[in-house]
Structure 1
Amino acid sequence: MGAVMLQGTGSDVGKSVLVAGLCRALANRGLTVRPFKPQNMSNNAAVTADGGEIGRAQATQAIACRTPPTTDMNPVLLKPQADHTSQLIVHGRMRGILRAGNFREARGALLGDVLASYVRLRETCDIVVVEGAGSPAEINLRSGDIANMGFARAARVPVVLVGDIDRGGVIAAIVGTRTVIDPDDAAMIAGFIINKFRGDPALFTDGYGQIEHLSGWRGFGVVPWLTSAARLPSEDAVILERPAAGARARTVIACPITPRISNFDDLDPFKLDPGVEVRMIPPGQPIPAEAALIVLAGSKATIADLAFLQAEGWDIDILAHHRRGGRVLGLCGGYQILGRSISDPEGIEGASETVAGLGLLDVETRLTPDKRLDHVMGTALAARFEGYEMHIGETSGPDTLRPVCLIDEASSEVPRNDGAVSRDGRVAGTYVHGLFGLGGQRAAWLDSLGVTGGGIDYAVSIDRALDEIADMLETHLDIDALIALSNTAGNSHA
């Protein structure tokens, strides 16, 4: 029962993908593996088998391990809201709101919860693969840390540092980390991995040796740019993919990026359809007039995101799109925004207020403190779907008499309808996330846009991508050495 932790020289160095790939590589070797991230900050989350929620990356890593996700895999999840606050999720359930002023103190008090989850996981498997957050070089955040060295030292888990060579300065990033962190923290680091290398790795042989010499840490390998990672669900940031010149898709699905956008990975399955281009629209750009479908994604602060959408003028674009005969779909918070009003009488998202929505659906939403967390399945557009619900709020009104989804009795206490469709049939909203994962369901939506697609299930694509990444790591990393390192967990690495 061992453990190894991947920390990074910074954010977005590829830790989540490497952990997922390593989990799959170890699972392919016949080992029982579990992923673990002590603390995550993300508005893309997944519902777990034990009825809670964790970060999307840890759910993907559980898939890599071929095991259902559980709340112990990500015991602390922070979901940023408006006004410098974050919803605090502990062991899958909301525990309160953290504000900037009490963040460090409150975070440090959660170390016991983190260690309890880690111990439970470690008792169930051969190896726990742990993912850090941000970087241990952020020494201004070291006090009260539970995400990086605070956890590693408390649990005595050996650390491997990941550096991103694609962004440049990887020698300074790794050696500089050694220089600025506490010596006792540095003693936990057993080596490093170079990630996102483009070209011939032999060209970096001298640099690799210099890092080993200057840091005193051994290298575990140089990982090339993993193109298969683009087929994994998104979590921390929206990546705007530009289609190749001359290969622009015929059908555009446009989604505006609001500050608290959440679960935008709902649109990732459309990456599998060559006739479709998903455009994530950043602030400052209009929603393209050629869009066949505008999707309003989920939101962690619906009223604040509605105000931002209006300030950007996107409401004008959406209403004009609808007048031209275009289609609009709202998912979760986006569904709420499409209604006539959103009421927050208890001040869950901030001030107690009621605001007018876009009015494209004849429904009203009342925000409530209870959060629904459910895996669901059923039928929409006469095709099967599997997904999940993760929302606060109750929505009602005449358009709910034309539901989007019929949720099966097997996944609900009683069969029930979900969502609403406008009288003209061109605007719809639903609380179901993951709606487009099954190929048949996605094909039904594309057919309504006059497009043929939706052949492969998204889960199949994810599984294939994980195997491809695992194969690359087997080739380019010293996995035997990483396994041996994991067996030293619980010992000192000074």
Structure 2
Amino acid sequence: MAEFPFHTLMIQGTTSDAGKSTLAAALCRLLKKDGVSVAPFKPQNMALNSAVTSDGGEIGRAQALQAQAAGIAPHTDMNPVLLKPSSDTGAQVIVHGKVRADMNARDYHRYKTEAMQAVLQSYARLRAQYACVIVEGAGSPAEINLRARDIANMGFAEAVDCPVIIVADIDRGGVFAHLTGTLDCLSESERARVIGFVINRFRGDISLLQAGLDWLEQRTGKPVLAVLPYLHGLHLDAEDAVAATQEVKGDFRIVVPVFPRISNHTDFDALRAHPGVDLRFIGPGQPVPPADLIILPGSKNTRGDLRWLREHGWEAAIARHLRYGGKVIGICGGFQMLGESVDDPHGVEGAPGSSAGLGLLAMRTELTRDKRLLQVSGHCAVGDRSAPVRGYEIHMGVSSGAALARPAFVIEGRGEGAQSADGQILGSYLHGMFDTPQALGALLDWAGLAGAEPVDLDALREVSLERLAESCRPLYEALQRLPTRFGRT
């Protein structure tokens, strides 16, 4: 195999969810298989799914998955700026893995000049350490209102003088309009660094697409580097959006409310993959169906999402569920909601104040300015008590009360989380609690699915990464044949 010709390659998309994250992961895996040291990089990410890194910081989960594809540990330099929305107009700004401030959209726009310096510092460190850096853009470079001070797309590409691929999702329709329209919105220098297009998620007879490909290349002067297939059944971490389609599998039903600020819903990937589980995300306006287990997920705005929970009838539904013998699990923000109150004296999530919790666990939570970021391991204190568990904590808050005397897990010798005295309710700050096969089995057994077969999510991810990479090999080979001024020399 020829040497990969680019030391840096950026993937931008015509829209969000066009396939930038998965394409970057595939190229990272193909380069790793060819013995090229490679690192993923996303200058700016806006997502509520995040991961704790080896250096004790926080990055988007997509970059953690791409690091796995590259065969390296995730590091904060791979996503130097992470925005975690806490409202429609404000977000927590995380720089180099640590909380910098809470900003509204206007303040952050002014802050971008400073943020770009952090981006370039991280990129320089990765360039010095790895032979190749695969860069993922954010949203679309055609968002004219965001062009000034851009650090996420062409602003970054221009700053480091790297080539760009533009990917579009044909499954959404309008793929040729998306590609030509995006190109027309770029400046002359930006158009010049676009080395080609990728059409993603194609299904059907490709010969019927050829006339459109010929027209696109003739009109733009840019090659279509690859047409990639629609791949079903991939088990890969979502960057942010909750899955739109939900496959019904087993008879054991789990329901999860989709909070307005739901975070780290990747906690449920192993459950979604389990053949014995029917997991359903329930959005606003949808009735709460009968279930064996209700799980309250993480939240970026615990008090706001607790209010939403009540407004949409979940408090009554949970009480009814418990009366009929159902089980409840709360994770992180969902765990905090199970207590007697959530207090925010410092205005961490908005106006200072206090909210009554669901009152299902004897504990109180005070939100704090400091965020706890930690990778942890231990064993379960429910079900099979020898079952190992590993995961990570990302939360701003400290819980206290009698319920903590009955922990859900034992983490490095200390109790973590809580259980109700009647054994129906469990809460924990531990994200990823279902990812370890033995812990998944123990927790499902506790919830009422006895003898559930284990699901190894890491193994499923590896199979999916290999499958994804092989589907992208035509693109990889096309890139190696492409003459460009952006090569290693």
TM tier, shorter chain? over 0.9
- Deviations along 1:122-150, whole A, 9 cap, x unmatched? 11112111000000111121001100000
Tell me the CA shift for residue 228 of structure 1. 4.4
The alignment status of 1:446 with 2:444, answered yes or no, reads yes
The alignment status of 1:311 with 2:318, answered yes or no, reads no
| Kept after mapping to 1: 8 A contact 2:36/2:132 | yes
Deviation above 3 Å: which 4+ runs of structure 1?
Answer: 482-487
The equivalent of 1:277 in structure 2 is 278
The alignment status of 1:40 with 2:45, answered yes or no, reads yes
The equivalent of 1:424 in structure 2 is 422
The alignment status of 1:102 with 2:107, answered yes or no, reads yes
The alignment status of 1:68 with 2:70, answered yes or no, reads no
SS at 1:424 equivalent: coil
| Inter-partner Cα distance in structure 1 for 2:486 and 2:88 | 44
Tell me the CA shift for residue 277 of structure 1. 1.2
The equivalent of 1:488 in structure 2 is 486
SS at 1:368 equivalent: coil
Change (3 A) 1:347 1:160: same
The AA in structure 2 aligned to 1:314 is W
| Kept after mapping to 1: 8 A contact 2:27/2:476 | no
The alignment status of 1:320 with 2:325, answered yes or no, reads no
Change (3 A) 1:55 1:140: same
| Kept after mapping to 1: 8 A contact 2:195/2:484 | no
Q: Which moved more, 1:64-73 or 1:171-180?
A: 171-180
| Kept after mapping to 2: 8 A contact 1:441/1:454 | no
| Kept after mapping to 2: 8 A contact 1:7/1:135 | yes
5+ long unaligned stretches in structure 2: 1-5
| Inter-partner Cα distance in structure 1 for 2:187 and 2:275 | 50
The equivalent of 2:3 in structure 1 is none
| Inter-partner Cα distance in structure 1 for 2:37 and 2:482 | 15
The equivalent of 1:411 in structure 2 is none
| Inter-partner Cα distance in structure 2 for 1:302 and 1:49 | 27
Change (3 A) 1:217 1:480: closer
| Inter-partner Cα distance in structure 1 for 2:169 and 2:88 | 32
| Inter-partner Cα distance in structure 2 for 1:345 and 1:462 | 41
SS at 1:238 equivalent: coil
Q: Of 145, 150, 167, which residue of structure 2 is paired with 1:145? A: 150
Change (3 A) 1:348 1:388: same
| Inter-partner Cα distance in structure 1 for 2:245 and 2:179 | 29
| Kept after mapping to 2: 8 A contact 1:375/1:388 | yes
| Kept after mapping to 2: 8 A contact 1:82/1:304 | no
5+ long unaligned stretches in structure 1: 409-414
The alignment status of 1:29 with 2:27, answered yes or no, reads no
The alignment status of 1:11 with 2:12, answered yes or no, reads no
- Deviations along 1:450-491, whole A, 9 cap, x unmatched? 2433423211111111011111111x3243525867982588
| Kept after mapping to 1: 8 A contact 2:21/2:136 | yes
The equivalent of 1:401 in structure 2 is 405
Superposition pairs of residues 65-144 of structure 1, within 5 angstroms: 65-82=70-87, 84-144=89-149
Change (3 A) 1:452 1:241: farther
The equivalent of 1:384 in structure 2 is 388
The alignment status of 1:198 with 2:203, answered yes or no, reads yes
- Deviations along 1:176-200, whole A, 9 cap, x unmatched? 1121221122112111101000122
The AA in structure 2 aligned to 1:225 is Y
SS at 1:166 equivalent: helix
Tell me the CA shift for residue 84 of structure 1. 1.9
| Inter-partner Cα distance in structure 2 for 1:456 and 1:377 | 18
Tell me the CA shift for residue 83 of structure 1. 5.7
| Inter-partner Cα distance in structure 1 for 2:107 and 2:258 | 28
Structure 1 length as normaliser, TM-score? Answer: 0.94
- Deviations along 1:136-175, whole A, 9 cap, x unmatched? 1111210011000000000111000001111111111111
Identity of aligned residues (%): 46
| Inter-partner Cα distance in structure 1 for 2:95 and 2:246 | 37
The alignment status of 1:241 with 2:245, answered yes or no, reads yes
The alignment status of 1:334 with 2:334, answered yes or no, reads yes
- How many residue pairs end up in the alignment? 479
| Kept after mapping to 2: 8 A contact 1:157/1:489 | no
Tell me the CA shift for residue 104 of structure 1. 1.4
| Kept after mapping to 1: 8 A contact 2:270/2:455 | no
Change (3 A) 1:483 1:66: farther
The equivalent of 1:357 in structure 2 is 357
| Inter-partner Cα distance in structure 2 for 1:136 and 1:149 | 6
- Deviations along 1:290-333, whole A, 9 cap, x unmatched? x1110000000100100111111111111111111110000000
| Inter-partner Cα distance in structure 1 for 2:481 and 2:41 | 16
SS at 1:429 equivalent: strand
Tell me the CA shift for residue 273 of structure 1. 1.4
The AA in structure 2 aligned to 1:177 is T
SS at 2:328 equivalent: strand
The equivalent of 1:286 in structure 2 is 287
Change (3 A) 1:56 1:304: same
Change (3 A) 1:116 1:440: same
SS at 2:100 equivalent: strand
| Inter-partner Cα distance in structure 2 for 1:3 and 1:483 | 16
The equivalent of 1:467 in structure 2 is 466
| Inter-partner Cα distance in structure 1 for 2:311 and 2:391 | 32
The alignment status of 1:52 with 2:57, answered yes or no, reads yes
The AA in structure 1 aligned to 2:138 is A
| Kept after mapping to 1: 8 A contact 2:81/2:94 | yes
Tell me the CA shift for residue 101 of structure 1. 2.4
Q: Which moved more, 1:434-443 or 1:96-105?
A: 96-105
Q: Which moved more, 1:361-370 or 1:476-485?
A: 476-485
Q: Which moved more, 1:79-88 or 1:274-283?
A: 79-88
Q: Which moved more, 1:120-129 or 1:476-485?
A: 476-485
Structure 2 length as normaliser, TM-score? Answer: 0.95
| Kept after mapping to 2: 8 A contact 1:195/1:225 | yes
SS at 2:396 equivalent: strand
The AA in structure 1 aligned to 2:43 is P
The equivalent of 2:25 in structure 1 is 20
The alignment status of 1:179 with 2:177, answered yes or no, reads no
The AA in structure 1 aligned to 2:402 is P
